[in-house]
């Protein structure tokens, strides 16, 4: 009964005209910045943070939160239409979403992404209301050793993201980790693989990698084909909205993705990105037809989109219950709360219940706004597919260059993007999987940081990596995953030898 009173309080705060207006502004901005590569929620929120001085605390956090989870919606749009992920969590969506677009099903893919995200956002808001405290306490049990084990599982799951051979996927993961090592060592301050170039001291940016491997490489591949006047879609554009049977089919992947994303979002690090990769891996394993993944499967869109949206919302749990930001965006949220003399932590529920429950209620309202905002835009985005590719690719390249330049306002990022584009094209031309490379690049720094932190705490004792039941549980999942991936090929070879 007390929970219902809290939810009623939250709705009374979220449904005021002022807060509805700021929620809409946040969701609209989030969608737009998600579409544009380079201008992510972190940069946008940091720029808007000073403007929140004059706002009420509830309005400020509702708007900033809308920008964050709205960006997850927007990131899938360019991933599906032009194979250019706007956010790191949209990398997986591009695998099947772009193939659906080429088959004339871009509207279906975009609608699936929007509906799955809405479902996940709604469930995640309820999830936060009921399980915020218990989940926060579980997250508090994670140390560097546990995070290292989780990253190991994430990298192993990356090898099932494509239909390529396991050895190729592992090689691309390792290559991604090596690329993530470029820059300044986080512990010693030494430069690695910079070759004296001061502008490489900060390392390579994810946006540069994503645009090179997915955006530019795809452009070169398409232009190398004979018919450059063709449209992006290789088939006639069909209906925009899913049928009832397709909605029922996407419910399972969306539900599993929501559960995975809700749990991983609580943990510090790249919850949304890891959640989407994990969801895709799970869907591929439980599917009756796993060979269809990567060729245009709705489950490959529904699951990851649900996971990244759920994770973006449950990442508020450590902030609101423990005062511990789970990622860089949440650290800015701490700043927004401090601006209004609110100390993040367990006492927020008692001292500012209208803020706590109002923010949770606004997530449901914001997700409803996002689905209302995005579904009508599906038809507009799909019209891009009717534009001849020779006219569209210059606009895509301009978008990529603007995104690269906006990272540091430095033309060097554009040159770097062009260099990495060659590597990306080689990857595409050789038929190697690009998604494992990007996941290795994303998780590499977190893997290294947590390994070195764990060894510093234990004074170099490697047994610390196996000292907790959480770590052992992750390693068990890793071993089972390896067995599950290698067993079919071993069985096939044995049958061939017997014949």
Torsion of CA 311, 316, 317, 323, to 10 degrees: 140
Task: For residue 277, give every residue at least 6 positions away whose Cβ sits within 8 Å of its Cβ, in sequence order, or none.
Answer: 91, 92, 154, 157, 158, 161, 304, 435, 439
DSSP-assigned letter for residue 122:
H
In which band, very low, low, confident or very high, does the pLDDT at 254 lie, cut at 50, 70 and 90?
A: very high
CA 191 distance to own-chain centroid:
29
Residue whose structure tokens are 């010693």: 188
Does an H or E element contain 98, and which? helix 91-102
DSSP-assigned letter for residue 227:
-
pLDDT at position 24: 93
8 A C-beta contact, residue 56 and residue 48 = no
Q: CA 485 to CA 493: how far, in whole Å?
A: 14
In which band, very low, low, confident or very high, does the pLDDT at 234 lie, cut at 50, 70 and 90?
A: very low
Tokens of 349: 């529920």
Instruction: Express each pLDDT in 134-156 by its tens digit.
Output: 766 666 677 888 888 888 887 88
Tokens of 248: 């029922």
Instruction: Express each pLDDT in 313-360 by its tens digit.
Output: 888 877 777 666 666 677 778 778 877 888 776 677 777 888 888 888
Mean pLDDT of the chain: 79
Work out the burial of residue 302: count CB atoms within 10 Å of its CB; fewer than 13 is exposed, 13-18 middle, 19 or more buried: buried
Q: CA 455 to CA 420: how far, in whole Å?
A: 33
pTM over 0.75: no
Task: For residue 260, give every residue at least 6 positions away whose Cβ sits within 8 Å of its Cβ, in sequence order, or none.
Answer: 275, 278, 279, 282, 307, 310
């Amino acid at each position: 009964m007390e929970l219902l009173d809290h939810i009623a309080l939250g709705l009374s705060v979220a449904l005021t005209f002022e807060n509805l207006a700021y929620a809409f502004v946040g969701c609209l901005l989030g969608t737009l910045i998600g579409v544009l590569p380079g201008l992510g929620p972190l940069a946008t929120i940091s720029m808007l943070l000073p403007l929140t001085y004059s706002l009420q605390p509830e309005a400020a956090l509702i708007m900033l939160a809308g920008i964050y989870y709205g960006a997850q919606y927007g990131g899938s749009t360019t991933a599906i239409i032009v194979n250019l992920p706007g956010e790191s969590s949209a990398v997986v969506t591009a695998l099947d979403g772009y193939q659906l677009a080429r088959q004339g099903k871009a509207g279906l893919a975009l609608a699936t992404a929007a509906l799955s995200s809405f479902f996940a956002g709604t469930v995640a808001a309820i999830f936060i209301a009921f399980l915020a405290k218990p989940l926060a306490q579980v997250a508090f049990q994670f140390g560097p050793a546990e995070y290292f084990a989780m990253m190991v599982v994430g990298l192993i799951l990356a090898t099932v993201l494509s239909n390529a051979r396991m050895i190729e996927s592992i090689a691309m993961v390792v290559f991604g980790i090596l690329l993530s090592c470029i820059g300044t060592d986080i512990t010693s301050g030494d430069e690695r693989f910079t070759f004296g170039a001061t502008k490489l001291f900060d390392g390579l940016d994810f946006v540069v990698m994503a645009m090179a491997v997915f955006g530019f490489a795809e452009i070169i591949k398409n232009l190398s084909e004979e018919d450059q006047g063709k449209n992006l879609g290789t088939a006639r554009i069909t209906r925009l909205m899913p049928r009832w049977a397709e909605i029922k089919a996407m419910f399972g992947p969306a539900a599993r993705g929501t559960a995975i994303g809700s749990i991983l979002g609580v943990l510090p690090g790249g919850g949304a990105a890891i959640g989407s990769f994990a969801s895709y891996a799970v869907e591929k394993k439980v599917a009756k037809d796993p060979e269809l993944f990567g060729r245009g499967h709705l489950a490959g869109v529904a699951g990851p989109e649900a996971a990244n949206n759920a994770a973006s919302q449950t990442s508020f749990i450590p902030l609101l219950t423990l005062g511990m930001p789970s990622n860089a965006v949440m650290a800015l949220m701490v700043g927004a709360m401090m601006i209004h003399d609110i100390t993040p932590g367990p006492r927020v529920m008692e001292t500012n219940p209208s803020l706590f429950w109002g923010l949770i209620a606004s997530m449901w309202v914001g997700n409803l706004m996002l689905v209302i905002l995005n579904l009508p835009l599906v038809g507009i985005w799909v019209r891009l597919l009717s534009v001849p590719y020779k006219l569209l690719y210059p606009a895509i390249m301009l978008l990529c260059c603007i995104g690269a330049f906006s990272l540091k306002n430095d033309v060097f990022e554009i040159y770097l993007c062009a260099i990495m584009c060659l590597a990306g094209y080689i990857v595409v031309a050789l038929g190697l999987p690009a998604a494992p490379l990007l996941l290795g690049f994303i998780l590499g720094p977190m893997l290294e940081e947590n390994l070195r932190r764990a060894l510093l705490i234990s004074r170099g004792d490697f047994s610390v990596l196996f000292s907790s039941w959480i770590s052992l549980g992750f390693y068990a999942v890793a071993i089972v995953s390896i067995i599950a991936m290698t067993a079919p090929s071993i069985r096939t070879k044995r049958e061939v030898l017997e014949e």
